[in-house]
Amino acid sequence: MAEHITSINRDRVEWCCTDYGITAAELAVQAGIAPATMEQFMAGEGGLTFVQLSHVAQYFGRGVLFFLEEGPVDTARVHTAQFRTLANQKPELTTKLKKLIEQVERQREVYLSLLEDLDEADRQRFAPPDLPDHDPKGAAAIVRAWLDLPDRNSFDSYRKAVEAKGILVFRSNGYNGKWQIPKDSPILGFTLYDAACPVIVIKKLPWETQQSFTLMHELGHLLLHQSSSIDDEQDLHSTGGHERDANAFAGYLLVPDGLLREIRDEERPDGVAEYDAWLRPQRTAWGVSAEVILRRLLDTGRLEQSDYTAYRQWRASLPRREQEGGAREYRHREPLHMFGDSFVSTVLDALNTRRITLAKASGYLDNLTIKDLHALEHHYAGF
């Protein structure tokens, strides 16, 4: 029979349960521990085996030693200021999303540590431009030039431009796992502000044009407000406060006035169901949705509010497109889709210069198998 550890700090287990909004009984189910065993442990009448404690630690995203340390939890050490900002904005955050935020923070620390080991002084550091206050349109023009965006774009080109400015851009994957924002979650993205290396996280959606707007909305929070933020569907349609500014900034950045003038009002069809087809050339060229273009037309007085509202109602009535997870034969490319080129190339550079082992590189890249890791290297090499 496995030996039970009796020196576990029960107060820390209880704190974690409260932090994640679950009971000890629910923790027992999640950790695969008999309810009676957990009840006795929490009552101070016994301990847990090392395997059981490991399951508890894994569920909460902590190390085993965290639960063996004496004393109460120092919240400021356990949760960063950025994490607390997001948790305060959305108190209803699920356990899975809280874990994801902490995982993103750890991934950023890995990235910064690898950069330091590689001594890459020429790597682009985050140096935001000076922006005017209370002027999303003016700010968007400056940022579009700062990003050096061409007229034709896609989500990938927007992402690449943002990453080139020292900002990590992660995208949740389409599979159920630790790097997924659940499909039924209203959360579309979040940003963790950091003066050295901010991170933007985007939820993978069926339409990449939706991801483009979320990306620029989060960039707005970073550059306009210099703050962390977490946003759901309602926030991306808000007309108040910081959300209004971030939405306006994203719209002006994605569809500046010069591009908007390419839209011919006299060609607008009578039925809103035909708007997507009418705007297809622009949607394709600019990498944005019809709704973003229509919103800009509305704000400039070129579209009636009733037409915009009718279009949104029509779009909402359509069946939701199922999100695809991707083909598993391309498993080796998934870390690139999730973590972006800046992070992945840094890990591979550290591996190739023997700063890290294959095992560590695998762990940093969503636990790729050694075979897939080598396939990813070949993909970067162009083989």
Flag whether 159 is in a domain. Answer: no
CA 83/CA 229 separation, integer angstroms: 9
- For the chain, state the CA radius of gyration: 23
Q: CA quadruple 359, 362, 368, 373: dihedral positive or negative? A: negative
Say if residues 262 and 282 touch (Cβ distance below 8 Å): yes
Q: Which tokens belong to 96?
A: 């899975």
| 267 domain residue, yes or no | no
> pLDDT tens digits, residue range 141-174?
999 999 999 999 999 999 999 999 999 999 998 7
Q: Give 191's strand partners.
A: 200, 229
Cα 43 from Cα 14, distance rounded (Å)? 11
Burial of 48 (0-12, 13-18, 19+ CB in 10 A): buried
Q: What is the pLDDT of residues 180-230, one digit of tens each?
A: 998 889 999 999 999 999 999 999 998 899 999 999 999 999 999 999 999
| Count of the separate structural domains present in the chain | 2
Say if 212 falls within a structural domain: no
Give the domain CATH number at 64: 1.10.260.40
How many other CB atoms are there within 10 angstroms of residue 310's CB atom?
A: 15
Q: Does residue 256 belong to any structural domain of this protein?
A: no
Amino acid identity of residue 63, one-letter, is G
How would you class 76 by CB atoms within 10 Å of its CB: exposed for 0-12, middle for 13-18, buried for 19 or more? exposed
CB 17 within 8 A of CB 31: no
Please give the residue range of the domain that contains residue 333. 328-381
Q: Name the domain boundary from 22, 55, 78.
A: 78
Could you tell me if residue 119 is inside a domain?
A: no
DSSP letter at 335 equals: H
This prediction's pTM:
0.90
Q: Which residues contact 187 (CB under 8 A, 6 or more apart)?
A: 90, 97, 181, 203, 230, 231, 232
The one-letter code for the residue type at 327 is A
- 60 CB neighbour count, 10 Å cutoff: 25
Q: What number of other Cβ atoms are within 10 A of residue 212's Cβ?
A: 26
Q: Is 43 a member of any domain?
A: yes
Domain end point (choices 25, 46, 78)? 78
48 has which bridge partners? 5
pLDDT tens for the chain, 383 residues long, are: 678 998 999 999 999 999 888 899 999 999 999 999 999 999 998 899 999 999 999 898 889 999 999 999 998 888 888 999 998 999 888 888 998 999 999 999 999 999 988 876 566 789 999 999 999 999 999 999 999 999 999 999 999 999 999 999 999 987 778 899 988 899 999 999 999 999 999 999 988 999 999 999 999 999 999 999 999 989 988 878 899 999 999 999 999 999 999 999 999 999 999 999 999 999 999 999 999 999 999 999 999 999 999 999 999 999 876 655 555 568 899 999 999 999 999 999 999 999 999 999 999 999 999 999 999 999 988 76
* DSSP classification of residue 32: T
Question: Has residue 179 been placed in a domain?
Answer: no
Structural domain includes residue 180: no
Given 78, 109, 134, the domain boundary residue is: 78
